[in-house]
Amino acid sequence: GLARVMQYHGVGMKELINDANVRFRQVEPHYQNRIDANGNAIPFDYRTDITHPMKQLEEVDRFSITVGGKPVNVVVSRGVNDLGVEVYLVRDVRDDGTSFYTHSLYNYSNAVPWANSSELATWEEFSVFYCKATLELIKRIEERERAELSGWKPPVVHLNDSQSALVSIYRKIELDNEKEIAALDPTYKVDPVIEDMVIAFSTHTYANRRSYALKGDSIAYSDQIMDFMEIPEKYRGLFRN
C-alpha cells in the first residue's frame, strides 16, 4: 500500500495477527520527497518524518522491470518501524541516482503517460512501476524462503488503494502465461508463488480510483492506457464497470 494509510493498516494487521505464527511484511513506495504548502520538494526521511519511524533501514535488493516498455532499475530497502513491523521500501533509480516514479509523495504529472516530458510521473506511470516492482519483490522474497524453509506456505497479499490494484492483474497475466507453457511442456512447473498466492484488495478512498470513458474518442484513449500498462486485449474486460 501507499504511505501513511498503509502504516495505519499495518497497526491493525499486527493486532489481528497477534502472536500467530505468521511473518508480516509491508511494502511501500520509497518516496524521496514530500511537497510543502508552497509546492517545494522537501527531502523525505523515513527514519524521522513518518508516524511510525523506521530504524535499521538498509538496501537489500536490486532488480529491473519495464514501464511502458522501457527498463527501470529498482532498489529495495528494508527496515523495522517503531511497532516492530518489517517494512520494504521500493524506489526507482536513474543513472544519475535520482528517482522519477517515486520522486515525491502523491504528486503526479497531468501529462499522458506515453508522452510525459515532465520530471514527475503520471498516476499511470507510478501505478505500473509500483505494481510491477511490488510483484517482483514478493516473488523474490517468497522464492528465497521456499528454497530455505521447510513447511513454506504461499503468501496472502493485501493490496490497498487503487495505485496497487494492477498487482492482481499482472499476477493473473503471469500465471496464465505459465500455465500455457506447462500445457505444452510436461516438465515445466508453474511457479507455486504465483499460482498459490492469495490476493485481497481494498480502497480507503473510493474517489481515488481512476476511470476512463468508453465512448466516442475516449475509446481510443482508453486503449492507449491499456497498451501503456501492457494489458493484453483478453484481460481488458476486467477493467470495465
Q: Quick one: average pLDDT of 63-67?
A: 97
| Residue 1, pLDDT above cutoff 70 | no
| Residue 216, pLDDT above cutoff 60 | no
Better pLDDT: 48 or 217: 48
Better pLDDT: 17 or 219: 17
pLDDT value, residue 241: 65
Q: Are 154 and 171 in contact (CB under 8 A)?
A: no
Strands (E), the chain: 25-29, 33-35, 41-43, 54-67, 70-81, 86-92, 156-160, 198-202
Q: DSSP for 186-228?
A: TT----HHHHH-EEEEE-S-GGGS-----STTHHHHHHHHHHH
- Rounded Cα distance between 212 and 194, Å, is 29
pLDDT confidence bin for 214, thresholds 50/70/90: low
Query: pLDDT tens digits for 189-205?
Result: 999 999 999 999 988 76
- Rounded Cα distance between 155 and 158, Å, is 10
Name the average pLDDT for the chain.
Answer: 89
Question: Which three cell numbers, joined as nine digits, stand for 60?
Answer: 537489500
- The DSSP element (H or E) to which 174 belongs, if any, is helix 166-184
Q: 113 by DSSP, 3-state: which?
A: helix
| Residue 209, pLDDT above cutoff 90 | no
pLDDT value, residue 56: 86
Q: Quick one: average pLDDT of 1-13?
A: 69
